[in-house]
Structure 1
Amino acid sequence: MAGHSKFKNIMHRKGAQDKKRSAMFSKLSREITVAAKMGMPDPDMNPRLRAAVNAAKAQSMPKDNIQRAIDKASKGDGENYEEVRYEGYGPGGVALIVEALTDNRNRTATNVRTAFSKNGGNLGASGAVSHGFERLGLIEYPGKVGDEDKVLEAAIEAGADDVESDGESHSIWVSVENLHPVARELEKVLGEAEAVKLAWKPSLKTDVDEETARSLLKLIDTLDDDDDVQTVWGNYEISDEVMEKLG
């Protein structure tokens, strides 16, 4: 059980969140609708939907928007989205996994490939980099819920496998099958989590310098700006000093 690590969720959003609020809500709504279509439209009976609703709440998405997305699935309205995953290498050889929900695979594949090629990366075949990651469940809490020892103790009691804290947040890692049982136990002690989701955790991390980081973050931002892209994961590590220089 690791008590502390600098590794953080590599999903990166640069710039003012307000500018991307509408796009973020659109992505959250898409995930809610897909989750509701795949299972029961009741978050208490559908773990994936519950996680999607929790993620939306964490971003202050209005309740009406959340309910509208659930209702859309219940009524069979809207597009039929499918889950797709892309793998490739960014600047500096950083491994990236891009998860998307799309109603047009050709459009999404073209956009993702273009983003990689225009920003110093290369899109690879399926399985090109995922062998260097582990598919796990991830439960995230803000630092304010308690200190590292409190969260670590709660996580151990709940059955988690690993905890990483950095003062600002706590990342609790569990096996895929234990994600929702552990999340329910933690909620009793720490309250509702900021996020409960499936994640890709790298086996090894790559330290990047300032120049590489600048190019890499530009690529991630370009991918993140695509409406179809839900999450970008990677195996990079950027020091606090480099992040400060990048502003």
Structure 2
Amino acid sequence: MAGHSKFNNIKHRKGAQDKKRSAMFSKLSREITVAAKSGMPDPDMNPRLRLAVNNAKAQSMPKDNIQRAIDKATANEGDDYSEVRYEGFGPGGVSLIVETLTDNTNRTVTNVRTIFSRNGGNMGESGSVSHGFDRVGYIQYPSSTGDEDTVLEAAMEAGAEDIASDSDGHEIWTAMEDLHEVAGALEKSLGEAESVKLAWRPTVQVEVDAAQAETLLGLIDALEEDDDVQTVWGNYDVSDEIMEKLG
């Protein structure tokens, strides 16, 4: 298995989410409701819903909140959301993919474009950066799960394609269509994951310096603070030293 990812985007994203827990729960609820509406309201019969519920549990979202989100779909309550992807560029030529769930695409595209322009970036056309990413399955485990060899062996047996480990934890990558099956096998051998989702994995990473990183992380923060934005993926590589300086 080749490749290594330093968790820079994950560490930054997790930190931002910890500061905005209620907003995070709102976004998780939205994803659960949309997933339940897209198929059966039973997680065992709906892979996307199972992933959404597992991610909510990993973030300690209360069971009552999870059930209410599913019940909204069952009762056909709440707004109808569309999944819209936006693409753009950050400082240093970094490529960013912004995934949203929105009930008003005019509002969302205006907000995303404004955030890019006010934070050192610019929004591109559809397809302008996604060609530099692979659509894959992504599973994250904390370092407490075990050492790299233990997780590597479990991942290989489960049918994963790649793994990257460092002091913060383990990233496991799968083919997009294998995510649900691999995640289920890993849950049996390693326990519940911190995160299981479809991801955009860059084929090439771009190193950024301290000044670029500060602006870039500010841009990502601003995007993630928007209510309609679910996830931001990027091809940036920020060194551990710069991350520590930026706090």
Shared fold, TM over 0.5 = yes
Deviates more, 1:176-185 or 1:101-110: 176-185
**Structure 1 residues 194 and 9: alpha-carbon distance in aligned structure 2, compared to 1, 3 A threshold:** farther
Contact 2:8/2:238 (8 A) holds in 1: no
Q: Is the aligned partner of 1:25 residue 2:25?
A: yes
Deviation of the 1:246 alpha carbon: 0.8
Asked if 1:5 is matched to 2:18, the reply is no
Equivalence map 1:161-180=2 (5 Å): 161-180=161-180
> Shift of residue 10 of structure 1?
2.4
The reply to whether residue 207 of structure 1 matches residue 188 of structure 2 is no
Hey, what's the Cα distance between the residues in 2 that align with 1:14 and 1:238?
16
Q: Which residue identity lines up with residue 7 of structure 2 in the other structure?
A: K
Q: Matched residues in 2 for 1:82 and 1:100: separation?
A: 8
Compared CA separation, residues 9 and 66, structure 1 to 2 (3 A): farther
Contact residue 160 and residue 182 of structure 2 kept, 8 A: yes
Q: How does 1:4-83 map to 2 (within 5 A)?
A: 5-8=4-7, 10-11=9-10, 12-13=12-13, 17=17, 19-83=19-83
Deviates more, 1:9-18 or 1:101-110: 9-18
Q: Deviations over 1:151-186 (max 9, x none)?
A: 000111111100011122111100011101111111
* TM-score (norm. length: structure 2): 0.96
Moved more, 179-188 or 23-32: 179-188
Q: Which amino acid aligns with 1:183?
A: A
State the alpha-carbon separation in 1 of the partners of residues 184 and 41 from structure 2.
19
DSSP 3-state at the match of 2:9: coil
Distance 1:190 1:97 in 2: 30
Shift of 1:244: 1.1
Q: CA offsets per residue over residues 181-227 of structure 1, 9 Å max, x none?
A: 11111111001111111000000001110000000000000000000
Report 1:199-238 matches (<5 A): 199-238=199-238
The answer (yes or no) to whether the contact 1:159–1:182 under 8 Å persists in 2 is: yes
When normalised by structure 1's length, the TM-score is 0.96
Q: Which secondary structure state, in structure 1, belongs to the residue aligned with residue 13 of structure 2?
A: coil
After TM superposition, the structure 1 = structure 2 runs for residues 121-136 of structure 1, keeping only pairs within 5 Å, are 121-136=121-136
Deviations 1:217-238, CA, capped at 9 Å, x for gaps: 0000000000000000000011
Unpaired stretches in structure 1, ≥5 consecutive residues: none
Supply the RMSD in Å over aligned alpha carbons: 1.3
Moved over 2 A (4+): 6-19
Equivalent position of 1:182 in the other structure: 182
The residue aligned with 1:143 is 143
Read off the aligned partner of 2:197 and give its amino acid letter.
K
Match of 1:240 in 2: 240
- Amino acid aligned to 1:57: K
Partners of 1:141 and 1:194 within 8 A in 2:
yes
Give structure 2 stretches of 5+ with no counterpart.
none
Matched to 2:5, the amino acid is: K
